[in-house]
Structure 1
Amino acid sequence: MKIFKRILQVVLCTVLMGSVFYFGNGKAVAEDFYITIKKGDTLYSISKKYNISVENLKEYNQLTSNKIIAGQELMIPDIEQTKPLYVVVAGSFSKKANAEKRVTFLKKKGIEAVIVKKVINGKSLYRVQAGAFSSKSKALKMKTKLKNNGIKDAFLLTEKPLHINGITVGSSYKQLVLKFGQPSKIEDDQNTRSLYYRNDGAGVRVTFHAANDSIEQLQVYPEYLKTASVPTEKSKILGLYGNPHEVKIVSCYESAKCEQIIYKFNKKQLIVQIDRDGKTVQYLDLRKAK
């Protein structure tokens, strides 16, 4: 079984390989920065000043208590990419043709919309989405515009951008290490970096954008990690990410069949492959959607 899994890792790794490998030149999309703690500062006051939760400050700085000391450096992480977005829904339909009619109607009104497929209890539903906004006020304006154009069933949803353990496309390598931990071994191959946390396989494989060192694609193998924060079972995947947009049956382990659960949101795609036992997560693969 382990031999097959190592072969699977090698095959998937070839997808990550591409141009020249760069670290340290260029500017990362996710911009973390550091502050020096002053006398009288508290995690609470810092969290309010920089609009970040105390929990996130503690997590990214690996703090076990709320105690901080003047003169100490504290990292302020750029977590904008994983903050929830406000999604404007202009109707949900059981038939794709009806969703397409709604999109055509909206485009005639000058409103851009797309169809998002969801699989719920084995049945496909087609949601018409008229934008995803970081600002709730902008989302509400779009909702009002829809209602003024006769879409009375328009509503808002909040959805968190696709991520694996808080890391998404565009995150920095520093953020990745803070979330997954320092690996015991690193292997570089062109623009692909493999991080080993156990001896028998890479727990994380990541490809970087050559221009700015940001993460372009991320593959995670839960069984080779030391952290328990990445889901290892299908039920936990569904609990964390919700109903998928697509489900596929693919070949794995030569003649065996495995299930792929696919999520798409905001131009990103997350593929989760489930082992042939129907419950164990083999890997998670996050990248830009085609």
Structure 2
Amino acid sequence: MKLYLDPGHGGTDSGAQGNGLNEKDITLKIAQKIQGILTNKYENITVKLSRTSDISKSLSQRTNEANAWGADYYMSIHINAADSAAAQGYEDYIFSGPSDTSRSATYQTIIHQEVMKVNGLADRGQKKANFHVLRESSMNALLSENGFITNTHDAALMKQASWLEKVAQGHVNGLAKAFNLKLKSTPAPVPSKPSNPVPGTLFKVIASSFKLKKNADERVAFLHGKGIESFVKTTIISGETWYRVQAGAFSTRENAEVRLAEVKKAGIKDAFIVAENDLASAGNAAGGNPPPPKIGNDSGNDEPPKRGNDGSDVPANSGNDGNNSTPPPKNTPDLTIFGSTYLSPEQMNQFVKKFNPSAPELGSFYQKFGAAYGIRGDVAIAQAILETNYFRFTGDVGPEQNNFAGIGATGSGKRGASFETQETGVLAQFQHLYAYASTKALPGQYPLVDPRFHLVDRGSAPTWTSLDGHWAAPGNNYGQSILNLFEKMIDSA
């Protein structure tokens, strides 16, 4: 199949504008993502873009090029606009000539349905029009209008890389179904060792262990500079304290081997994998009795981790700006779940995107519900980061579930709860935290969406570290792992 993919506008023609966005930029991003998915994952398809950069190109140039190339299908990607800021949603068009039973109409129906499954937009329906690219293209053609740039709801989605990816995937799913595209076959990996010999086993990628924490911190900084997330975990071996640099924990050895290769390619030749049976249903908590470490090169004086020496809360502002004048709460094992949110939504989002540029921007939800329930929103997002591997969803829970805290995911492939929107998923996490932290009735500002709220032993975990054995079972170091991530967020703010 030959697909002519046309990102609308470009160059001196910005297309629609609104909410700080230009149509020409968004259409190009979506089209490039569609091309990438199709060429990487499907057989026997060639994709030609009308433009691959911000250049001007007339409508006639586009259709003439598609016709001369002999394309089998013409797909034009656009973003809508209206005088009324209330107008919102998705719609698509075919040429006004063909009947409702034509092949063009059939393709439209299939693609429309697939896009609507994933884009989170209001459905404005399937339409017909006398647009140039639909009329002058000699093959069947479709023009999609992916939301209104003049609507604050739709525009907020357009600013999210994850949403652009979903929209692209929806178009791909429609094309694959309409044209019976076949996925490329890949040989199944043949592991040299058992993939997961014992239920609950985690395969952890270790980028060396050090006697001095400052050297472990330097290794973490080096890996972060290479785009590889990692953190320092303190472990006791034969009565001695070691600072282990962990660059990921995976439920299968195959995935761990992929990360190990990335770490070694970055220059850490002595990296290795350890298998530890210390993960239960939720989170990537670390613990257990590790084997003797492979040791990095130490020098200088030992610098222990910086921690507060008491469990008191330090007043903090609500995080509405990027220059907080009050100090962050002391990161101690007794840090309470209830408390103020210190980091701003922008600081939360920026931290996550350092490790996963495609992560959804959820900081505003964590601030909003943190204020509503009196819960530390920035520590709560650290919990979500831990649960989802920086919103990559490498465990049982999938991104489409909007379940950022593993609610109901009890291991052995049980995926847990699903929520209709990202906002609802974050709300459920806060309600679940509230159930653990308090015996009081849930505030009535929002409806109860946590399906397991009434299964919680109310008030049994007022601090983050007391979530061990409750939220995650056995969950050794689950709460401390959350606090370690929160400390990294504070340090990077």
TM-score (norm 2): 0.20
Greater C-alpha Rg: 2
More helix by share: 2
More strand by share: 1
Q: Which has the higher contact order (CA 8 A, sep 6+)?
A: 1
